[in-house]
């Protein structure tokens, strides 16, 4: 049985196990949870409209999250991670599709998503469990990547589905743990679900990561190396040492000239993960081994932009036409063209926790900010040229 299946099975088995707490745990939980159960508001950074950094507003009166479904949990946030997606969402990126996901019957007025809380990574402690949640208990230390249609982690508490949550690696502090979930589940979705890679089939596979020095790239390098792949990375010159230290076998500096020239002199690849986009797909697919099942997977897709600009129906049709024609165009040349997307997944984080606690993957925290410095953290992410992740300490978790 693969370890993913084993972890999923053990999650299911927990559904039938009763939750038993010792007297000591129960008294601690009571002490710990009274504050959440009586409260209706909490501190958070919110936006009331889309825009630049000026729209970020700190409030002590954000609505306290409530459990709406029996499989949901409330997590007290000790640390949050910030991603380029948060900067884009602050400006309104994806608003059409995300509004439809939040309100599928379109019953609410436009703008009902406000006040909106951003922040896609969380590490913290479970404060409250829905009635059907058996795999987690109050006070469990957890980490998760929060889907963009949910309220985010730049707040004292956040509500999530138990399927999206996983126990935090014991070897990491909350600040370190918050650097991993969103980029890790994105890389997992792209490389494992879309790319078909696993720890059992990576040996001797040649993988190229375009844009290896940021959040997704630094995680992907480490996971692929732990699985035995040969990893080539593009990044700017001043990140070469950094990605080599993470395990990259071959590094190509994209600032030294057209990067496709040195790359085309190398042996062909089995898989390319594109974190850069733009004109990369004009040349990148020629670097794949033809007629061998090789795949190009890009994380930079026009899907949300299309629905923002054209509306849901036309945007989806445009998206289907674009991706369909590209898939066919490359299929006749013997290579696979795919789009990769973030997918929240507690079971994937369970697998990643094992790799982290075994020392195969380490968090790459570029800079840590306090809760009062959220606008500065956004500025940092917006500048680009990331070397890992930007993390915000929120609660007073054990470090
Ligand atoms: N589809 C999805 O669901 C999904 C999910 C997550 C992320 N994404 C997208 O995936 C991309 C990567 O995300 P991330 O979190 O890793 O971003 P990030 O942390 O900002 O990292 C991007 C990295 O790319 C490097 N870079 C920029 N231009 C480059 C080029 N031409 N060649 C090689 N490297 C280049 C940057 O550093 P230097 O410029 O200093 O080299 C930076 O380190 C972003 O565009 C993000 O929006 C999509």
In a domain, 77, yes or no: yes
Strand partners, 80: 122, 392
Same domain, 112 and 220: no
* pLDDT over threshold 50, residue 28: no
Tokens 């190229």 sit at which residue? 208
* pLDDT over threshold 80, residue 25: no
* Banded model confidence at residue 101, pLDDT cuts 50, 70, 90: very high
**Rounded CA gap, 216 and 224, in Å?**
12
Helix and strand counts by DSSP (H, E) for the chain: 14, 15
276 lines ligand 1 (CB under 6 A): yes
183 lines ligand 1 (CB under 6 A): yes
Note the pLDDT tens digit of each residue in 39-53. 899 999 999 999 999
* pLDDT over threshold 50, residue 1: no
184 lines ligand 1 (CB under 6 A): no
* pLDDT over threshold 70, residue 33: no
- How many angstroms is it from 258 CA to the middle of ligand 1? 18
What pLDDT score was predicted for residue 23? 45
CATH number, domain of 265, equals: 3.40.50.720
What pLDDT score was predicted for residue 396? 64
Same domain, 20 and 163: yes
Same domain, 112 and 250: no
**Rounded CA gap, 203 and 3, in Å?**
18
- DSSP string computed for 220-262: HHHHHHHTT-EEEEEE-GGGHHHHHHTT-SEEEEGGGS-THHH
In a domain, 316, yes or no: yes
Q: Does residue 380 have a cis bond before it (omega within 30 degrees)?
A: no
Q: Which helix (H) or strand (E) holds 58?
A: strand 56-63
The pair of structure tokens assigned to 3 is: 């370890």
* Banded model confidence at residue 107, pLDDT cuts 50, 70, 90: confident
Q: What average pLDDT score do residues 337-355 get?
A: 98
In a domain, 68, yes or no: yes
280 lines ligand 1 (CB under 6 A): no
Q: Which of 9-13, 167-171, 223-227, 246-250 has the lowest mean pLDDT?
A: 9-13
* pLDDT over threshold 80, residue 61: yes
Note the pLDDT tens digit of each residue in 264-323. 999 999 999 999 999 999 999 999 999 999 999 999 999 999 999 999 999 999 999 999
Percent share of the chain, pLDDT over 70: 89
What pLDDT score was predicted for residue 106? 85
CATH number, domain of 76, equals: 3.90.180.10
Average pLDDT, the chain: 91
216 lines ligand 1 (CB under 6 A): yes
In a domain, 202, yes or no: yes
Using the atom order of ligand 1, give the atom closest to the CA of residue 341. 3
Same domain, 143 and 33: yes
What pLDDT score was predicted for residue 2? 45
Using the atom order of ligand 1, give the atom closest to the CA of residue 83. 15
Q: Nearest-CA neighbor of 273 among 194, 209, 220, 339?
A: 209
211 lines ligand 1 (CB under 6 A): yes
Same domain, 95 and 75: yes
Q: What average pLDDT score do residues 220-235 get?
A: 98
What pLDDT score was predicted for residue 19? 40
In a domain, 386, yes or no: yes
Q: Nearest-CA neighbor of 97 among 322, 321, 314?
A: 314
Same domain, 216 and 295: yes
Same domain, 192 and 294: yes
Q: What is the dihedral of CA 123, 391, 159, 146, to 10 degrees?
A: -100
What pLDDT score was predicted for residue 120? 98
Q: How far is CA 33 from the centre of its chain?
A: 28
Of 101, 189, 208, 214, the one to substitute when testing ligand 1's pocket (max ligand atoms within 8 A of C-beta) is: 214
342 lines ligand 1 (CB under 6 A): yes
* pLDDT over threshold 50, residue 18: no
**Rounded CA gap, 311 and 185, in Å?**
28
In a domain, 5, yes or no: no
Higher pLDDT, 31 or 254: 254
Tokens 């996901």 sit at which residue? 101
* Banded model confidence at residue 109, pLDDT cuts 50, 70, 90: confident
Tokens 């080599």 sit at which residue? 244
- How many angstroms is it from 330 CA to the middle of ligand 1? 24
Using the atom order of ligand 1, give the atom closest to the CA of residue 389. 19
**β-pairing, 41-47 with 389-393?**
unpaired
Same domain, 24 and 147: yes
Beta-carbon contacts of 107 under 8 Å, excluding residues fewer than 6 positions away, are none
In a domain, 344, yes or no: no
Same domain, 204 and 176: no
- How many angstroms is it from 276 CA to the middle of ligand 1? 5
What pLDDT score was predicted for residue 11? 64
* pLDDT over threshold 90, residue 36: no
Higher pLDDT, 39 or 341: 341
Q: Which residue's CA lies nearest to atom 7 of ligand 1?
A: 299
What pLDDT score was predicted for residue 110? 85
Same domain, 36 and 125: yes
Using the atom order of ligand 1, give the atom closest to the CA of residue 386. 43
* Longest Cα separation, the chain: 66
- Provide the domain limits for residue 35: 10-180+363-393
Note the pLDDT tens digit of each residue in 361-382. 999 999 999 999 999 999 999 9
Same domain, 59 and 207: no
What pLDDT score was predicted for residue 20? 43
What pLDDT score was predicted for residue 39? 83
Number of domains into which the chain is organized: 2
* pLDDT over threshold 70, residue 6: no
Same domain, 194 and 144: no
What pLDDT score was predicted for residue 32? 43
pTM to 2 decimals? 0.92
Of 84, 193, 234, 240, the one to substitute when testing ligand 1's pocket (max ligand atoms within 8 A of C-beta) is: 84
**Rounded CA gap, 33 and 27, in Å?**
10
What pLDDT score was predicted for residue 22? 47
In a domain, 351, yes or no: no
Q: Which helix (H) or strand (E) holds 33?
A: helix 23-37
236 lines ligand 1 (CB under 6 A): yes
Taking the alpha carbons at both ends of the chain, their separation in whole angstroms is 35
């Amino acid at each position: 049985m693969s370890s993913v299946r084993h972890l999923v099975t053990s999650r299911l088995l927990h559904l039938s196990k009763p939750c038993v707490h010792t007297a000591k745990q129960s008294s601690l939980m009571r002490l710990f949870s009274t504050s959440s159960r009586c409260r209706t508001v909490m501190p958070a950074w919110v936006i009331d409209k889309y825009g630049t950094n000026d729209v970020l507003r700190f409030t002590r009166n954000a609505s306290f999250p409530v459990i709406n479904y029996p499989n949901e949990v409330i997590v007290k946030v000790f640390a949050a991670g910030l991603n380029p997606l948060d900067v884009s969402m602050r400006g309104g990126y994806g608003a059409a599709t995300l509004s439809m996901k939040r309100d599928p019957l379109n019953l609410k007025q436009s703008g009902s998503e406000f006040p909106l809380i951003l922040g896609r990574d969380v590490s913290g402690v479970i404060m409250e469990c829905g009635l059907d949640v058996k795999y987690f208990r109050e006070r469990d230390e957890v980490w998760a990547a929060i889907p963009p249609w949910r309220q985010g982690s730049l707040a004292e508490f956040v509500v999530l589905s138990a399927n999206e949550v996983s126990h935090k690696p014991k070897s990491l502090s909350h600040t370190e743990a918050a650097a991993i979930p969103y980029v890790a589940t994105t890389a997992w979705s792209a490389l494992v679900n879309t790319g078909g890679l696993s720890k059992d089939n990576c040996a001797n596979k040649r993988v190229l990561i375009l844009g290896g020095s940021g959040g997704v790239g630094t995680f992907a390098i480490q996971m692929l190396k732990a699985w035995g792949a040969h990893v080539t990375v593009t990044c700017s010159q001043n990140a070469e040492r950094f990605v080599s230290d993470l395990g990259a076998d071959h590094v190509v500096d994209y600032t030294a000239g057209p990067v496709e020239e040195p790359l085309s002199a190398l042996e062909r690849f089995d898989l390319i993960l594109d974190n850069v986009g733009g004109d990369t797909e004009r040349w990148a697919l020629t670097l794949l081994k033809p007629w061998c099942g090789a795949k190009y997977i890009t994380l930079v897709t026009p899907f949300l932009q299309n629905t923002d600009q054209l509306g849901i129906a036309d945007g989806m049709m445009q998206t289907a036409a674009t991706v369909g024609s590209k898939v066919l165009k490359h299929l006749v040349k013997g290579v696979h063209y795919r789009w990769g997307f973030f997918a929240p997944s507690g079971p994937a984080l369970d697998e990643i926790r094992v790799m982290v606690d075994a020392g195969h993957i380490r968090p790459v925290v570029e800079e840590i900010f306090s809760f009062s410095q959220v606008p500065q953290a956004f500025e940092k992410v917006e500048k680009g040229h990331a070397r890992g992740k930007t993390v915000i300490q929120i609660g007073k978790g054990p470090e």
